[in-house]
Chains A and B, each alone.
Chain A
């Protein structure tokens, strides 16, 4: 899956299509809409996806919500996960794979349970986000439970440098916070309660 830049330097920046360099197996027929009779879908997953489909005039609008649901269920957008969503939505797996590969929050390769997105965009990097990202990587080590990623602007430059930990925004972080954060996640505690963004008042009152 990994792209070898020395072989095709044009793709050194990473195509948005993982597997672009893998030959298609032409002896196989293209995957069709999965058959409900032979595709087991957990009941609660089916209910959630159907509820999403019902909120839009066109059921295809539920593609992103459905992928969120199966990714939560399976940990990543595995072929099985995509097949289940495709089965409920009556779409081909190829359609949903095309959608899943476009968006940064969907992973078509296995990933760790805990998502730590470290913002490394302009505002955060002006305040030392690149060092923070390195520190976060080394704090998580090679623990497969952690999915540490450098992310584009997460929309919280007021607490730069910051990170989104399983969807919870925390900041401003320093390098010492990284080890603490990883420990808290390992023991199932809330991430850095004192640094959570949702508890912060507006700037005028915060800096008073």
Chain B
């Protein structure tokens, strides 16, 4: 079942203007929130059980309740650095309904007591940043932003900050460094941003789609919102479907519908005469799943995908059909993370680089099946050993591709050796974790 909350009237030409938005009940929830205490607003968000839409899926209400009380300078940052390959939902939402985001940010800032808020938008989204800037100016004129908003004694300011092209800046602590005007390197956690974030003040960082849900939660009531979706994954989700499908695009779904309905029903499935070889359920950082019935019948929600060994992530499905060699996809993925690794932590900087080198050996046929074991062990050693999860984000898909498609990798190596006249690779016996590469070239 598809239900429409965020995409309601989304293509109406007037929605991006303040008049059009107000005609649909816009900014009423802000007035309502200002009549409530910040604790009551937080209670509604806790009751809605809405989980973060950016990738980690952490409960938004819980994150907000970590922000200390008190009169120190607190900040709210909206993460609009949507750089995860395959993800493009925030772009469409921000461009077409900027005021909903602004309203969500103001309510969120009111709930945690922040007086300054920022939208960190990736530099490539220049049109969307202009749309947001125009909407901000309208909101400021109407008294929704600035000093003493709507006659209350709250001051909330909002600034659109344009990034300059770095995937790592979507990671929350790297984003904060970048927003402070530095190179975007992640920080050591703890302290978590909720305690010590932007300019060393408590900072709440949320994804665009999460914040856009806030006015909707207030309108419906938290408990009512929690009734949509499944028990642990509440609400609707905008899912970006791309790759080898007939109708790529953003689809809003109720969490928990079968993945098959999403891929085949809404996005039209793979092109005529093709079948699905593999799919990324949650952006390129999620472990891939094979296109078998067992996985396609999984309900599309946070917990079912986690149980199947993958994750919902940012809600971006990339479909790979059977005409695409999996080695090419693996190499493309690994090269992306190598390019975007900031270089701060050794396992990620070196691990991404060596993974690319090993995959290139696989492609040219210089590799042996043992290289696949080494590659898998490199992925294991990246996991959990860095300041941020960029390294893990490569390790998870590459590791899962080797796990699910090992036979194809091996066949690819054999075929490449055949082409280059290298003869068959020496079968690996007595594989030892500590052994170096086995002698691999047997003259033809």
- Which candidate, B45-53, B85-93, B137-145, B187-195, is the interface stretch facing chain A? B85-93
Q: B11, B242, B318: which contacts A201 (Cβ < 8 A)?
A: B11
A126 is an interface residue with CB less than 8 A from chain B: yes
Query: How far apart are the CA atoms of A67 and B161 in the complex, in Å?
Result: 13
B126 near A155 (CB under 8 angstroms)? no
B332 near A103 (CB under 8 angstroms)? no
A61 near B124 (CB under 8 angstroms)? no
Encode A111-151 as 1/0 by CB contact (under 8 A) with B: 00000010001110111000000000000000000000001
- Which candidate, A23-31, A32-40, A50-58, A187-195, is the interface stretch facing chain B? A50-58
A203 near B247 (CB under 8 angstroms)? yes
B11 near A202 (CB under 8 angstroms)? yes
B249 near A105 (CB under 8 angstroms)? no
Q: B166, B267, B333, B356: which contacts A13 (Cβ < 8 A)?
A: B356
Given contacts A157-B243, A204-B251, contact A102 B184 (CB under 8 A): yes
Residues of B within 8 A of A126 (CB): 243-244, 318, 320-321, 324, 329
A184 is an interface residue with CB less than 8 A from chain B: no
A93 CB → nearest B CB, Å: 14
A205 is an interface residue with CB less than 8 A from chain B: yes
Q: A63, A160, A206: which contacts B181 (Cβ < 8 A)?
A: A63
B251 near A123 (CB under 8 angstroms)? no
Residues of A within 8 A of B86 (CB): 122-123, 153, 157
A152 near B11 (CB under 8 angstroms)? no
Residues of B within 8 A of A157 (CB): 85-88, 240, 242-243, 248, 316, 318
B250 is an interface residue with CB less than 8 A from chain A: yes
B10 is an interface residue with CB less than 8 A from chain A: yes
Q: A56, A68, A105, A207: which contacts B247 (Cβ < 8 A)?
A: A207
Residues of A within 8 A of B249 (CB): 158, 202-204, 206-207
A64 near B161 (CB under 8 angstroms)? yes
A62 is an interface residue with CB less than 8 A from chain B: yes
Residues of A within 8 A of B84 (CB): 153
CB neighbors of B among A46-88 (8 A): 55-58, 60-65, 67-68
Encode B111-151 as 1/0 by CB contact (under 8 A) with A: 00000100000111111000000000000000000000000
Residues of B within 8 A of A167 (CB): 124, 126-127
Encode B192-234 as 1/0 by CB contact (under 8 A) with A: 0000000100000000000000000000000000000000000
Q: Which residue of B lies closest to A168 (CB)?
A: B127
Q: A13, A67, A121, A160: which contacts B338 (Cβ < 8 A)?
A: A13
Residues of A within 8 A of B391 (CB): none
Query: How far apart are the CA atoms of A151 and B250 in the complex, in Å?
Result: 22
Majority-rule SS of A interface residues: mixed
B123 near A56 (CB under 8 angstroms)? no
B127 near A169 (CB under 8 angstroms)? yes
Residues of A within 8 A of B20 (CB): none
Q: Which residue of A lies closest to B163 (CB)?
A: A64
Query: How far apart are the CA atoms of A157 and B320 in the complex, in Å?
Result: 13
Encode B337-348 as 1/0 by CB contact (under 8 A) with A: 011101100000
A41 is an interface residue with CB less than 8 A from chain B: no
Query: How far apart are the CA atoms of A57 and B84 in the complex, in Å?
Result: 29
B85 near A125 (CB under 8 angstroms)? no
Query: How far apart are the CA atoms of A157 and B84 in the complex, in Å?
Result: 11
A89 CB → nearest B CB, Å: 9
B260 is an interface residue with CB less than 8 A from chain A: no
Residues of B within 8 A of A125 (CB): 328, 332
Residues of B within 8 A of A202 (CB): 7, 10-11, 92, 96, 249-250
Residues of A within 8 A of B82 (CB): 155
A98 is an interface residue with CB less than 8 A from chain B: yes
B411 is an interface residue with CB less than 8 A from chain A: no
B306 is an interface residue with CB less than 8 A from chain A: no
A203 near B248 (CB under 8 angstroms)? yes
Encode B279-297 as 1/0 by CB contact (under 8 A) with A: 0100010000000000000
A59 CB → nearest B CB, Å: 8
B251 near A99 (CB under 8 angstroms)? no
Residues of B within 8 A of A152 (CB): 83, 85, 167, 336, 339-340
B162 near A68 (CB under 8 angstroms)? yes
B164 near A155 (CB under 8 angstroms)? no
Residues of A within 8 A of B180 (CB): 58, 60-61
A134 CB → nearest B CB, Å: 16
A153 near B320 (CB under 8 angstroms)? no
Q: Which residue of B lies closest to A61 (CB)?
A: B181
Query: B: which residues have CB within 8 A of A?
Result: 7, 10-11, 73, 82-88, 90-92, 95-96, 116, 122-127, 159, 161-167, 178-184, 199, 240-244, 247-251, 266-268, 280, 284, 316, 318, 320-321, 324, 328-329, 332-333, 336, 338-340, 342-343, 353, 356
In the complex, 19 of the A-B residue pairs with CB atoms within 8 angstroms, ordered by the A residue number, are: A55-B159, A57-B199, A58-B181, A63-B182, A99-B181, A102-B184, A104-B165, A122-B85, A122-B86, A122-B336, A123-B248, A157-B85, A157-B318, A158-B249, A167-B127, A203-B247, A203-B250, A204-B266, A205-B11
Query: A: which residues have CB within 8 A of B?
Result: 13, 16, 55-58, 60-65, 67-68, 98-99, 102-106, 117, 121-123, 125-127, 151-158, 160, 164, 167-169, 198, 201-207
18 A-B pairs besides A60-B181, A102-B342 with CB distance below 8 A are A57-B116, A65-B161, A68-B123, A106-B165, A121-B284, A122-B86, A126-B318, A126-B324, A126-B329, A153-B284, A155-B87, A155-B88, A157-B85, A157-B240, A202-B250, A203-B249, A203-B251, A206-B249
Give 10 closest A-B pairs by Cβ, nearest first: A203-B249, A157-B242, A104-B165, A63-B181, A103-B164, A60-B181, A167-B126, A153-B85, A105-B165, A123-B242
